[in-house]
Structure 1
Amino acid sequence: MPKPLYQCRVLVTATSYGVHDPALKTTLESQVGEVVYNQSGRPFTAEELAALIPGFDACIAGLDRFDRQVIARADHLRVIARYGTGVDNIDLDAAREKGIIITNTPAANADSVAELTVGLILALARNIVVADRETRAGLWPRLQGISVNGKTVGLIGFGAIGRRVAQKLSGLGCQILAFDPYTDPASGEGLAHFTSREEVIASADFLSLHCPLTGQTRGMVDAAFLKSMKRGAFLINTARGELIDEAALIAALNEGHLRGAALDVFTRQPPGADHPLLAMPQVIVTPHMGAHSDHAANAMGWGALNNCLAVLRGEEPENRVV
């Protein structure tokens, strides 16, 4: 029999949980026996989680790493309710072996990530970051930007986020091409033209990544991929940093094959002040903030909370991954 909810202990590692809607915390606290929040202001490391996790029945998890060591230490854990979409930081095999249910909140942050993506495309096109930096320095630069109108935007991945990017770009006069082997091309009708991966890569003036991190997509943006992009194109990544071979991207930028890039994610986060990409003026960098908006935080919070409480009650959660 499931433990009564008043006896359950819940660990909340997602740092923005309840920040914009206090009812997320009061609701959770009224339903279970004890709630412990992450006060560090950052995701926990696997080592920190391994020390914390014993005794907890549930976790509402952010970007923290739940590796096999953490799962092995989880002596009471019944659910990891992911506050977001990606589950690549969780050892799913280890969770499955131990009978721990994994849930996520698909599409909860889709609009916010799509908004950032469109913002980065416009910032690259019009040199907004460079213009701001040089104007603040007392200069008055005559920067030559390009118009998004009439250009081709390529989307690798047309799930909830890719589709919303297409929707938000629809009024800007650009052609939108998409590739997604797991999505019905009919879903893009009126928004994007589905075509081959090769054509999307070769045709795009702005190429934006919106695919999950899997064994097949890890490092897919390698030297060959970048070489096949149109000369002078821009690359945008608001998905996962591990999709890109960063050394190959640096080489493509240094050689001038790519005109610029905008990255919200890196292979190692934070990347470190000495990372070569941070020193390149043609690269816009942001701190994995695609989902950091009031709307996304609330949607992810309620989705994770409902999934968590459902499992603790012995019910089937809405968004089970494992």
Structure 2
Amino acid sequence: MNIYLFCQNKNYFSKNQVKAMKKAGRVIFVEGINPIGVCKKLIADKSNKIVAIDPDVCLWKLTNKEIESIPNLKAIIIQSTSFSWIDTDFCRIKKITVINTRDYCTNAVTEWLLMMTLMVARKLPTVYKDGWKVDFNRHLGMELHGKTAGIIGVGTIGTRVAQVMTAMGMKVVYWSKHDHGSIYDQTTLTKLFKTADFIYPCLAKNNETKKIIKMKHLRTMKKTASIICAAPQPALFDKETVLKLVAKNKINGFGFESGGDTRKLMEEARGNTLVTPELAWYSKETLITNAKKWSKNIIAAAKNKYPDMVNP
């Protein structure tokens, strides 16, 4: 089995990980940021193959045309958890298995969300926009202890957020399509938005969840409430509406990640809005865990085993 591995630098993997992958198949490293289609060797290769890809390499876009141009492609193993940038239904029709890499940045993302929560709760975005000059009327913050955290989606990250916010002395309620038998109180989206002080969307981005949070939910938030989310969660609701609610002092605050000019967005946003770069996932521990799990999935796929398949 040929293994085409698209990454920014092959040194991302340890020597032992590379050695293990080479035992599973013939590894061809393709380094740098380029569309997959520019790899002529891949397109010309008629043998059975799998493609492992860092989404940053293809700028988070892999078209059906590019996928179809790869002969005898058996599986695509992506470095990220998010797979919304690939048409998994198309791959299923073409009998191409898509595998994502899961649970490698749970602690990093959760800690980032906690950091954002504390900054918004204590009005740091407003303090920053006021030139760090203290104004006791505008800069009165709130403590997390005794507040309610509303978590939308209790997967790996949502569950970890619930644990951390509980440790901070918060009451946790959650919404999910399914009853997970959780120790936390399950509620409806409508009630969650009406009662929670800090709301954490923690759902995967896909066609089913896109804009799952409606305008009616956003407009029922308490004046003291805030929304805190990591990328790509703003895709689950109308971000501009939330920005306007904060600007008009209808809600307390908003914290989110952006891949754009964060400094400009931060300064343009009125009110207690925090905009950070998309760094929630990025930690030393995350990179080590990701390389370990990604290489493990690559080896499994080379042996026709697909533990983390997303398009069964």
Residue in 2 aligned with 1:305? 295
Cα 1:311–1:273, aligned 2, differ >3 Å: closer, same or farther?
closer
Q: What is the CA deviation profile of residues 175-207 of structure 1, one whole-angstrom value per residue up to 9, with x for unaligned ones?
A: 1111111341x2x21xx2212221111111110
Cα 1:118–1:138, aligned 2, differ >3 Å: closer, same or farther?
closer
In structure 2, C-alpha distance between the alignment counterparts of 1:77 and 1:95, rounded to whole Å = 10
Equivalent of 2:187 in 157, 179, 195: 195
Equivalent of 1:228 in 220, 229, 250: 220
Residue in 2 aligned with 1:82? 78
Q: Is the CA contact 2:229–2:255 (under 8 Å) kept in the aligned structure 1?
A: yes
- Give the match's secondary structure for 1:208: strand
Q: What RMSD, in angstroms, separates the aligned Cα atoms of the two structures?
A: 2.8
Cα 1:133–1:26, aligned 2, differ >3 Å: closer, same or farther?
farther
In structure 1, C-alpha distance between the alignment counterparts of 2:115 and 2:211, rounded to whole Å = 25
Q: What is the CA deviation profile of residues 75-122 of structure 1, one whole-angstrom value per residue up to 9, with x for unaligned ones?
A: 243221122322111110121122211112232222221111111111
Q: Name stretches of at least 5 consecutive residues in structure 2 with no aligned partner.
A: none
Equivalent of 2:246 in 250, 253, 269: 253
Counterpart AA for 2:268: A
Structure 1 residue 107 corresponds to structure 2 residue 103: yes
Counterpart AA for 2:295: L
In structure 2, C-alpha distance between the alignment counterparts of 1:120 and 1:19, rounded to whole Å = 29
Equivalent of 2:256 in 245, 259, 263: 263
Q: Is the CA contact 2:10–2:29 (under 8 Å) kept in the aligned structure 1?
A: no
Following TM superposition, the consecutive aligned residue runs of length 4 or more in structure 1 with deviations greater than 6 angstroms are: none
Q: Is the CA contact 2:125–2:273 (under 8 Å) kept in the aligned structure 1?
A: no
How many residues are paired up? 298
Counterpart AA for 1:10: Y
Counterpart AA for 1:296: T
Residue correspondence of structure 1 range 20-39 to structure 2 within 5 A? 23-25=16-18, 27-28=20-21, 32-39=25-32
Counterpart AA for 2:226: F
Report percent identity of matched pairs: 18
Structure 1 residue 317 corresponds to structure 2 residue 311: no
Q: Is the CA contact 1:205–1:233 (under 8 Å) kept in the aligned structure 2?
A: yes
Equivalent of 1:10 in 4, 8, 11: 4
TM-score by length of 2: 0.83
TM-score by length of 1: 0.81
- Give the match's secondary structure for 1:88: coil
In structure 2, C-alpha distance between the alignment counterparts of 1:246 and 1:294, rounded to whole Å = 30
